Structure 1
Amino acid sequence: MNEYVLKTHDLSKVYQKKMALNKVSMAIEKGSIYGFIGQNGAGKSTLIRLITGLAFPTAGTFELFGKSNNTGEFIEARKRIGTIIEGPALYPQMTAVENLETHRLLKGIPGKECIEKTLTLVGLQGTGKKKAKHFSLGMKQRLGLAIALLGDPEFLLLDEPINGLDPMGVVEIRELLKRLNQEYGITILISSHILSELHLLATHYGIIHNGILLEQLSAKELNEKCQQYLHIKVDDCNKAVTVIERFLETQNFEVMPDGSIKLFAYVDQPGKVSKTLTDEALIIEAFMPMGEDLETYFTRRIGGVQHG
């Protein structure tokens, strides 16, 4: 039986007569990295604000670690989460150690030993007297993660944690989040509009649009829906089908209405496929690897390119 760190039940939020969230029911499995996908204004930040207590739902309920937000036990459950919302809350005139010490006191966490441990975890142990205002954007994001990690949370909620980072900073944050998940067992919800990056990180996805959760699916399910294939067009489709079945020994293909062939096998061996076809005197008119990525799938799922 799956264990969930977060479940929402018909969760809704209205701001000034605008439905920011509309009966959202989602579930995040323990140990997963949940990529929360949606355009600006889709409802991602609103949901995170509800979970963290920065706003209150208009209707519906949610559970953290099995504790309902309508019960007294929920306050203790919320102590098991860490968050970054709309950028890390840093004190620019303070060093990394001073920032963590301030947040440690605010959170009521006993003992200072957690500070050096957390800074080492995010790779900021050598920053010394350097003030946060002089940190690079990537360092600021890692310091924000360090603050979120104080108290050893089991669940991280991160709102656009790689927004504005240069490519190296994106890689650093990605690898850090993978490590937190795989080595420390921390469940992560990460909202982002950088879909190519989420595709490298997430184990599960939720797609939200105009406040409505359109779909939840695992990375495996997404990869099946975005299956890669070789697009093949030759002068004799019927002969090509016979060649593929006889010489490549596969029936993992589909003949399209225009006479082209989607070959789902041998995607990593295109040279073998093209040589087999030409050896059998077939003339190749088109031959290329194809398939959807997360961005293409998302755009199709919400009904095409949206202009705002």
Structure 2
Amino acid sequence: MSDYVLRTARLTKRYKQQLALRDVDLAIKKGAIYGFIGQNGAGKSTLIRVAAGLAYPTSGSLELFGQAGEERLTEARRRIGTIIEGPALYPQMNAADNLEAHRLLKGIPGKACVARMLALVGLQSAGRKKVKNFSLGMKQRLGLAIALLGDPEFLILDEPINGLDPMGVVEIRELLRRLNVEHGITILISSHILSELHLLATHYGIIHKGELLEQLTVEELNARCRQFLHVKTDDPAKAASVIETELGTTEFDVMPDGVVKLYKYMDVPGKVSTALVRAGLVIEEFMPMGEDLERYFMNRIGGADHE
């Protein structure tokens, strides 16, 4: 049994003269919520379409649940659910009839799953209301219910919160978290709303101009985006000594340029500056710093543009 639901090796996709993906080595472990980050045209949707079987790679390989080769991949794709480029809904039908139509198209036996999926996404009380009269959030939840037909082990979602109002975003976020935690569903989610991904994802992949720049866990991201006090004085060694002895903490790093990154006292920076001045140090730079996911992403792709 593979520990990964999706793995690619040197995956490349070319459309005539356009290189959409180049040598992508991506790995998504079972149980992860994998936030897939990239600008428009970076290659997110292309990779998602290849994974879902809607496009074929030019070269390289792809595995789903440890299975490779077209025949085995076709079988493995029965274990995934997708929302790509918006859910396919019948606007004149109600939610239950939409699910029933998709159940028949997918060849899923038994009608009991329709009511179960409606309850799972919170649409059990939608009644006879036609989908054309649904809010965008309700449509997205119905799309998720359709993707969940057949009890997939892996959900692939392309921009599922795009265009939602704040309440709709929260509803979808909580639903996805519940599906992951309570039902053990692995999720690949691409989104432009990086602040939301930071509240949801357990793993991240950053793609830019068809290249996968980096994969990292939420712990690794938080360590790199950790907030700190940027302290520069005329004597870095003495500043480090004062911080350790007077302020009683070793949670700091002295950088090669002499800057001290202090990870404590973010809420009371005055205590730090007072202790340093009292010790006779001249403070040259003193400010809170750190990154959120959006700033980290922009710095990462900014660096890629200049490589």
Same fold (TM over 0.5): yes
Q: Aligned equivalents of 1:91 and 1:285: distance in 2?
A: 64
Q: Note the 1:13-92 alignment, pairs <5 A.
A: 13-68=13-68, 70-92=69-91
Query: Quick check: 236-245 or 37-46, which moved more?
Result: 236-245
Q: Note the 1:198-213 alignment, pairs <5 A.
A: 198-213=197-212
Q: Is the 8 A contact 2:85 2:158 kept in 1?
A: yes
Higher helix share: 2
Q: Using the TM superposition, give the Cα deviation of residue 51 of structure 1 relative to its aligned residue in structure 2, in angstroms.
A: 1.2
Give the AA of the match of 2:25.
Answer: S
Does residue 11 of structure 1 match 2:11? yes
SS in 2 for 1:303: helix
Q: Is the 8 A contact 2:2 2:66 kept in 1?
A: no
Q: Choose the corresponding residue for 2:270, options 270, 274, 299.
A: 274
Q: Using the TM superposition, give the Cα deviation of residue 236 of structure 1 relative to its aligned residue in structure 2, in angstroms.
A: 7.4
TM-score, normalised with respect to structure 2: 0.91
Q: Aligned equivalents of 1:19 and 1:191: distance in 2?
A: 20
Q: Using the TM superposition, give the Cα deviation of residue 266 of structure 1 relative to its aligned residue in structure 2, in angstroms.
A: 3.7
Q: Aligned equivalents of 2:21 and 2:236: distance in 1?
A: 49
Q: Aligned equivalents of 1:278 and 1:302: distance in 2?
A: 39
Give the AA of the match of 2:107.
Answer: G
Superposed CA RMSD in Å reads: 2.3
Q: Using the TM superposition, give the Cα deviation of residue 72 of structure 1 relative to its aligned residue in structure 2, in angstroms.
A: 2.4
Q: Note the 1:231-242 alignment, pairs <5 A.
A: 231-232=230-231, 240-242=239-241
Give the corresponding residue for 1:107. 106
Q: Is the 8 A contact 1:247 1:276 kept in 2?
A: no
Question: Size of the alignment, in residue pairs?
Answer: 302
Between the aligned residues of both structures, percent identity stands at 69
Query: Quick check: 249-258 or 211-220, which moved more?
Result: 249-258
Give the AA of the match of 2:201.
Answer: A
Give the corresponding residue for 1:167. 166
Give the corresponding residue for 1:149. 148
**Alpha-carbon deviations, 1:75-121, whole Å to 9, x = none?**
22110000000111111111000100000000000111111111111
Q: Aligned equivalents of 1:170 and 1:234: distance in 2?
A: 45
Q: Note the 1:289-300 alignment, pairs <5 A.
A: 289-300=288-299
SS in 2 for 1:82: strand
Q: Using the TM superposition, give the Cα deviation of residue 275 of structure 1 relative to its aligned residue in structure 2, in angstroms.
A: 2.8
Q: Using the TM superposition, give the Cα deviation of residue 221 of structure 1 relative to its aligned residue in structure 2, in angstroms.
A: 1.1
Give the corresponding residue for 2:115. 116
**Alpha-carbon deviations, 1:153-194, whole Å to 9, x = none?**
000000000111111111111111100001100000001121
SS in 1 for 2:71: coil
Q: Aligned equivalents of 2:57 and 2:272: distance in 1?
A: 61
Give the AA of the match of 2:58.
Answer: T
Give the corresponding residue for 1:230. 229
SS in 2 for 1:206: strand
Give the AA of the match of 1:114.
Answer: C
Q: Aligned equivalents of 2:284 and 2:126: distance in 1?
A: 59
Q: Is the 8 A contact 2:265 2:272 kept in 1?
A: no
Return 5+ residue gaps in structure 1 as ranges.
none
Q: Using the TM superposition, give the Cα deviation of residue 226 of structure 1 relative to its aligned residue in structure 2, in angstroms.
A: 1.5
Q: Aligned equivalents of 2:142 and 2:183: distance in 1?
A: 18
Q: Is the 8 A contact 2:230 2:287 kept in 1?
A: yes
Q: Aligned equivalents of 1:32 and 1:146: distance in 2?
A: 20
Does residue 139 of structure 1 match 2:143? no
**Alpha-carbon deviations, 1:226-276, whole Å to 9, x = none?**
121123467876654333111222233234677653202344xx22x5235
Q: Is the 8 A contact 1:229 1:289 kept in 2?
A: yes
Change (3 A) 1:266 1:60: same
Q: Is the 8 A contact 1:240 1:277 kept in 2?
A: no
Q: Aligned equivalents of 1:22 and 1:233: distance in 2?
A: 42
TM-score, normalised with respect to structure 1: 0.90
Q: Aligned equivalents of 2:62 and 2:166: distance in 1?
A: 36
SS in 1 for 2:253: strand
Q: Using the TM superposition, give the Cα deviation of residue 303 of structure 1 relative to its aligned residue in structure 2, in angstroms.
A: 1.9
Q: Aligned equivalents of 1:260 and 1:43: distance in 2?
A: 38
Give the AA of the match of 2:67.
Answer: K
Q: Note the 1:190-201 alignment, pairs <5 A.
A: 190-201=189-200
Query: Quick check: 254-263 or 217-226, which moved more?
Result: 254-263
Return 5+ residue gaps in structure 2 as ranges.
none
